[in-house]
Structure formats: C-alpha cells, structure tokens
Structure 1
Amino acid sequence: MHMVRRVGMAMGWVVVVSLLGAGLSQGRAGEPGAKPGLCPDEAKEGFVDLLAVGSLDELWQGATRGYVLVDDAKEGRKLVCKKTGGGNLLTKKEYADFVFRFEFKLTPGANNGVGIRTPAQGNPAYVGMEIQILDDGHEKYKGWLKDYQVHGSIYGVVPARRGFLKPTGEWNSEEICAKGRRVKVTLNGTVIVDADLDEAVAKNGGKTLDGQDHPGLKREKGHIGFLGHGDELEFRNVRVKELR
C-alpha cells in the first residue's frame, strides 16, 4: 500500500539458504515439498519460473538485498520479504501482456504489492500500476482503509472484492492477467478484479478514485515485481507467461 510505504529502509545482504537434499518429493508447483520449477502443464504453456535462479541478480533488479531466497524442505523454494528490508524488487525484463502467477503467505498486518507495467524508477503505484497485497482485515486498518486499498485492488483506481483471503499463515494463490487495457486479478480461484482501465477512470468522471495522477495507467509495458514496505511475508511458485 502506497500510503504506508517506508522510506530509507535498511537492507541486509541477500542470503541464499540451500536446504534441499536427497529424498525430497518431486511435487507440482503449489504443493508442499515441491522443488523449484514449473508443473509440466505450465512448462508446455510457456511459463517461466522467476525463482529458478542461483541469485536474485540473475532475473531481478532493484531491492535485491531486501529479499532472501530460501529452499525449505516442507514448502519448497520461497522468496522472503524481510521485515527490515523490502523495497521494490523488479524483473529485469519488461512485459506488455502477460499472466503472472504466485503464492503468498501473509503475516499479521503485512503490506506489500505487485507492480505491473512499471518503469524501474519512480513509485510503481503511479508511474506503473500496483496490485495491492495486504492483510486488509487486520485491526490496524479498521475504520480508515479505502475500498481501492484492499487486497487485490489496482491501487487508487479499481477496488477489489473482499472476503477471499485465507487466514494469515496460510498460502494464498493469485493470478494477475494483463491484456491490453484489461486487468484481471484472481485470488484463490475467485475473480476479485476484472477491469477495463479506460472505463474505470471514465465512470468516475475522468478521475481516479484516489484523485491522484496515475500516468502508469497508459503504459503498454514495463517491469513486474514485489513492492515491500518493511513487513515480512513469503512468496513461492512465482512464474510468468508472456501473451502474444
């Protein structure tokens, strides 16, 4: 969420902890104990595993020191946004139309986001688009959180349907599909946003819901990434497919 973004967060070194050993089960993406990699169907469809790297610097740029790769015997390879780290971790590659899939596990009150079609510089919520990642039912957000700030919303522009997040500590699955002017967000199998960007602004009198300038709505391509705000949470099975 942009409004609680912390500036000047201290960032530690990226540590890659390798705990995978012989005897681990060969599971599908999304299953506990799965090794890094795509399930066969996704590989055939053209998805790319963005965590199948030895170092984040191979495919990612930006706040690579605010996140850590961990290979866990039970939960597979994870990308952990550190409590004292975070920041904007963006793909080196730019994407126009795509399907972006990932799983995430929230800690109480955690706040993060997914930047899409964003340039490498500037605030992705405005110069690109930010899809909110938020434990929006937490006590600290009660009474002031706007509809366009809840989990899954296109921040400041399109509110998401609520009530489909799993409890903190459980894995959620999410898919973001951007094709032309349409953006669709699916959380745990339920579509919570399905918006035409032009229509979303037009029906509000030509203004965004938050009243701010969002030039990123007009961008046709850009980076994808996680936008950490100093709260710890975990990601896994992060993969992307370009749409032609």
Structure 2
Amino acid sequence: MASPFDLTKRMALVTGGGRGIGAAIVTRLAEAGAHVVIANRSQDVADALAVDLSRRGLGVSTTTFDRLDRSGLGDLVDRVISRFDRLDILVHNAGGCPWAALDDLDEDRLEQALSINLTSAIWLIQSAVPHMRARRYGRILVTSSISSRLAMGGGAHYSVAKAGVNAFIRGAAFELARDGITANVVEPGFISKPGRGSLSTADNLSRIARHIPMGRIGTADDVAYAMLYLASEQASYVTGQTIVVDGGTTLPETGFAVERQWG
C-alpha cells in the first residue's frame, strides 16, 4: 500500500534504527520515499535490516553509532553530510536505561541514563541544525517515553532523562521555528519487543494489557506511523509537541480505574 506521505528525495538519519521501534521507523520512512541511514551500535543488525529493505527496492544505508559524546555524534552527522550532502530528517531513537532502585543508584548508572537518552539528543541535534538551517528545512524527532510523566520503580533516573528530552525539544523548537525546522517528540507506552527481557513473556504482556484502556500492548508500527506523520509535509505547522502513543495508558487515574471500567 502506498504511503499517504511523500518523502521522496528526503534524506533521513535514524539512530538506534536496527531493530524494534527504530527498525519500524526506518521502514516507514523508506516506504514513503526517503533514503534512510540506519545508525546502529551493532553493524550486523543494521546491515541485516538494510539487506531486507534493499530487496524491496527501498533506499537505505548503514553506519556505525557507538560514541555518545559531542565529538562522536558530530562525526556521525558529518559522515552523513559528506556522503549525501544533506540531512532533512533526524530521528534520535537510541535510548535505554540501566535500571536501579533509588538506594542503588550510583554515578555511573545516572550518567549512563542521561548520556544515552538526554545529552546524546542535545549534541546530535546541535550537530544537525546548521545543515538543516542552510536549506531552510528540517524535521527533528526524538523517541521519549511515558516514563517522563509516570513513576516507575527502579527508573527514576530514566524518567528524569526523558522529561529532560521533552523540555529540550520544546526549547529547541522555539529557537528553530523561523528556520523552517520543526522539532517534536513521540512518547511510546508499553510496546511489544518480542524476545527482549522479562516484560516480553506472554504472561507479563497479558497482565500489562489488562491495565491499558485499549486492552492491548502497542506495536513498533504504532510509534513509527506517528513519526512518519511528524516527518511529513503534512506536519509542517506542528512543532514543540509531544505525541503520546500509549493506547490510553496515561488516561486513567490508576490501573484500578481500568479494572472498574472493563473488569
């Protein structure tokens, strides 16, 4: 089925694009006509996705992504510009968290959570903006999380990092509004990640789904289609916003409200 959004001739970079949500974002952008550079820590994972998409006639390339400091992320953007001479769409999807209860949180875990989720987004966007500004066009997108607004045991530092992402994007969007550049965030809720962690077991997924108003766990495509919209011309007047993709998880006062409504 043809995409309702046309990204023909657009150049996109997706970090953490090798699997899961990232792979879905890469796929939907490429299906809409963009050439997508998959930046992933595991080159093998990125290459496998690129092979599958290339067989479908979609435009994709790969590059390594293993340094989260300012210099490393600047180098990532420079490599894309050197090869393709432009960067129209930037999706910072890479993220994660070393879980730790408050009593066990140490400097290394806090720094890792902030680096993976927040400071990497800041340095990557800072590196991309001059190239977008030169063309008076850009779409900046970041994958955040509903953890930015909800408490989660063992993840207070992750919540801080994602809330920081949301605040940074609002500020960046304001500064870039006259430059033809939009900046937005997508906050996924519970998204199915088959075979990855204890939350991916059938029993746990079923238990979680009972507390989601829509009654199901989200899919990577649920997030990817929101990203596709925000990357499109149709979203040219949308900036500094957060789209929550969570099946209604953040709507009820508590999980008990869902049980009262649907049993």
Higher relative contact order (CA 8 A, sep 6+): 1
TM class by smaller structure = under 0.3
**TM-score normalised by L of structure 2:** 0.26
Higher relative helix content: 2
Higher relative strand content: 1
